[in-house]
Amino acid sequence: MKTTWMRAAAALFLVNQLFFSAPVVTRAQDATATTQAATLDGYTPDESAAERALEDRFRAVPRADGAREHLRQLTKEAHLAGTPEDYQTALYVRDRLREYGLSAELREYQVLLPYPRTPTLLELVAPRRERLALKEAAIPEDPTSSSPKIVPLYNGYSATGDVTAPLVYVNYGLPADYDALKKLNVDVRGKIVIARYGHSYRGVKARVAEENGAVGCIIYSDPADDGYMQGDVYPQGPWRPETSAQRGSVQYGFIYPGDPLTPGTPAIPGTPRISREQAASLPKLPVQPISYGDARRLLEPLRGPVRPNGFQGGLPFPYHVGGTPDVRVHLKTDMDIRTATIWDVIARIEGDAEKDRWLVLGNHRDAWVFGAVDPNSGTAALLELARGFGELLKQGWKPRRTIYLCSWDAEEQGLIGSTEWAEENANDLKEKAVAYLNVDVAVAGPNYSASSTPTLWRLIRAATRDVRDPKTGKSVYQAWQEHEREGQPEADTEAGTSPREARIDPLGFGSDYTAFLEHLGVTSLDMGFGGDYGVYHSAYDSFTWMSKFGDPSFAYHAAMAQLWGTIALRLADAPALPHDYGDYADQIRDFVNETVKTAQRRKLADSFDAKAILDAAKELSDEAARTRAQRDELLDTVARSRVRADDTHPRAVARLRKLNDSLLAAERALTDPTGLRGRPWYQHQIYAPGFYTGYAAQPLPDLRQAIDDRNTANAREAAQRIAAAIRRAAQALRDGRESN
Ligand SMILES: [Zn+2]
């Protein structure tokens, strides 16, 4: 489960998998951020200078060789969630945090976790009998690839099943693919489907197969998307070799993530559990991932119609869709889905003036196998960041606000460790959380990308300007912007036009920010350095792969620690929070306009009141501008009162706090406690995963869903609720200001 992977991959083969891209920000204010010594947003000039000096001291600490050593230790053994090896990594993280001077504790949860009881049996039974290997080959150059503890290939929360049926190739296994098959009169009811990975979350493929009446679902990595058509395969190159398959959860996390038996509540002793039959996040059919080497044995004999548009992959024969009785397969899965203990590691750095305001940083630690890229590049960065914070603490620094550093467990099965912690601390987080900063994959290559709520766009762009990109020596921002421009058509990069701001994507589903943003309404970001990453969720995502391809010098690990820490310091220490709702209103307007276009194409534009949402967005935009103006005034008052040493200072500070709280309340106001239609756990009215979009966000989720369903009553109601949420956010900002 990973968005960073999707982003890394997007550049390569999942072009335009996001429905919306963030709008271009061309405001005059942004130009000032390019000046190195510019006053930090939310600081007085004096405080800004002190903070910049503090940041410099911090950024001098994270080291490449430190990150390399962490990664070596964390990836020695496979450490699937809930195993003794996972526990060892929790102790490693806890002990390093303590060594650096931070207080850190384990937090346990008892959750439902999926393991294979026996390896899956998959065989072709007609036209000939052939059992598939379903095993990633040991590679002599990669010592860990021969470990006996590598978990067999499986999909987390696949049902146990034993089915024999004709096989149908369903392309990416999404609704449009099934529509194409229906036009060919190919029915998948009672059949086993084989889908290729890509274009959505694998759990969506399982769900759509189930909805269409399939009795089993095989998911494979096609070489066109994820293999030799991208380049040399491992160990010659970074791409997926013939026997490698992508493990991964098929939990229906778009209904709710986290422990399947305790939605909305923490999985601790005493919490009532629902039954497995009641758990809407659990698939009911057997699902199995396979390699393209194995898939070839199944796809080559298929007959029936030849490749509808877009169905052909990279194997060397024309793809037929099958569904005929002469090609049949036998799939037998045997899963052990049981309650197991998981271990989050939570470190807390007590704040000073505002210790009851929290900044939360998180990365998951558990992996399908060794997880060098996903997720332990992020763990290594987190530990180097912690070492930096530890140094600052030794020098006498105390953050204004309390900082949490979290090492989550069981993300891979369904964002479980973060979701349970967020649910356990829901009331505190709703009151106190300033932001959640997620890094899952810190490094798969050199290309920076970010997703966030628009509140943090300015901050991300400003911070990336102050961290050096190891390869180019330019700022991370500049390298990011230039890399993005390379992939754009000429027209956009004409001489004379000022370069676009680098794009920041909307958050969807796929890493540990989900509970914070989409359940609780906490402003969030997710970021990483991507690249040619072809070993996702395989046994080859190893220390050797990272050392050869991902980040041989480990300089990008250190850069991520510097960047993550810089953003954290600015948020933890700023007298005035930098959250910007002007950008948020712009983003909402873009979402609405996109949605209106889609509705017009479907002749549904009259079914809802788009103007009410746009008016609410305008109101939010106006309130944001007033809040920013008052904030700058108050900062000015604080700065001037310092000079005069008069008593306006404490009053201005108190008013700033109220203003800050209104910036948190505005994001919270975008949630609705009744939740989204059919999935009450998801409460944010602007951001959620779609039922079918997988990792990608489906902005204005209920409205988009209603339009997809052609349900005009739902569309009308969803639009009203979205407009009301935006108006509540505007009201929250208004409430935060006092008239002078
Ligand atoms: Zn991950």
The model's pLDDT over 31-88, given as tens digits with 9 standing for 90+, comes to 444 445 689 999 999 999 999 999 999 999 999 999 999 999 999 999 999 999 999 9
Predicted local distance difference test score (pLDDT) of residue 305: 87
Per-residue pLDDT at 565 exceeds 50: yes
Least confident of 137-141, 146-150, 302-306, 312-316: 302-306
Domain-ending residue, one of 573, 593, 627: 573
DSSP assignment of 603-637, as one string?
Answer: T-GGGS-HHHHHHHHHHHHHHHHHHHHHHHHHHHH
Q: Does 276 lie in the same domain as 292?
A: yes
Q: Are residues 266 and 361 in the same domain?
A: no
pLDDT tens digits for range 465-522 = 999 999 999 999 999 999 999 877 655 544 555 668 999 999 988 899 999 999 999 9
N-terminal to C-terminal alpha carbon distance within the chain = 49
| Alpha-carbon torsion (97, 561, 77, 375), positive or negative | positive
Contact of 539 with 369, CB cutoff 8 Å: yes
Tell me the CA–centroid distance for residue 374 and ligand 1, in Å.
Answer: 5
The CATH number covering residue 227 comes to 3.50.30.30
1 CA to centre of ligand 1 in angstroms: 6
- Considering the domain architecture, whether residues 104 and 134 belong to the same structural domain is answered as no
Asked whether residue 404 falls in the same domain as residue 322, the answer is no
Say whether pLDDT at 382 is over 60: yes
| Same domain (yes/no): 285, 371 | no
Same domain, 284 and 423: no
Q: Total structural domains in the chain?
A: 3
Report the candidate in 718, 672, 698 with the shortest Cα–Cα distance to residue 510.
698
What is the whole-number distance in angstroms between the Cα of residue 448 and the centre of ligand 1? 16
- The answer to whether 200 and 693 have CB atoms below 8 angstroms apart is yes
Q: Do 657 and 614 belong together in one domain?
A: yes
Position 116 pLDDT exceeds 80: yes
Within this chain, do residues 101 and 126 fall inside the same structural domain, yes or no? no
Q: How far is the CA of 365 from the centre of ligand 1 (A)?
A: 8
Question: Which pLDDT tens digit goes with each residue over 394-411?
Answer: 999 999 999 999 999 999
Q: Can you give the CATH number for the domain in which 719 is found?
A: 1.20.930.40
Could you give the percent of the chain with pLDDT greater than 90? 88
- Quick check: is 411 catalytic? yes
State how far the Cα of 18 lies from the Cα of 3, in Å rounded to an integer.
11
Ligand 1 mean position to 534 CA, how many Å?
Answer: 14
- In the chain, the percentage of residues whose pLDDT exceeds 70 is 93
List the catalytic residue out of 411, 420, 501, 619: 411
pLDDT of residue 170: 98
The residue out of 538, 573, 608 marking a domain boundary is 573
**Ligand 1 center to 512 CA (angstroms):** 9
- The reply to whether 623 and 677 lie within a common domain is yes
Domain that holds residue 314: 112-338
Q: Do 264 and 164 reside in the same domain of the chain?
A: yes
Residue 105 C-alpha to ligand 1 middle, in angstroms? 22
For 239-267, write each residue's pLDDT tens digit. 999 999 999 999 999 999 999 999 999 99
Give 630 Cα–ligand 1 centroid separation in angstroms: 40
Place of tokens 């991959």: 9
Tell me the average pLDDT of the chain. Answer: 93
Domain boundary (298, 321, 338) is at 338
Q: What pLDDT, on the 0 to 100 scale, is given for residue 739?
A: 60
C-beta separation of 573 from 582 below 8 A? no
List 337's β-bridge partners, or say none.
Answer: 114
pTM more than 0.85: yes
| 96 and 194, same domain (yes or no) | no
Shared domain check, 670 and 540: no
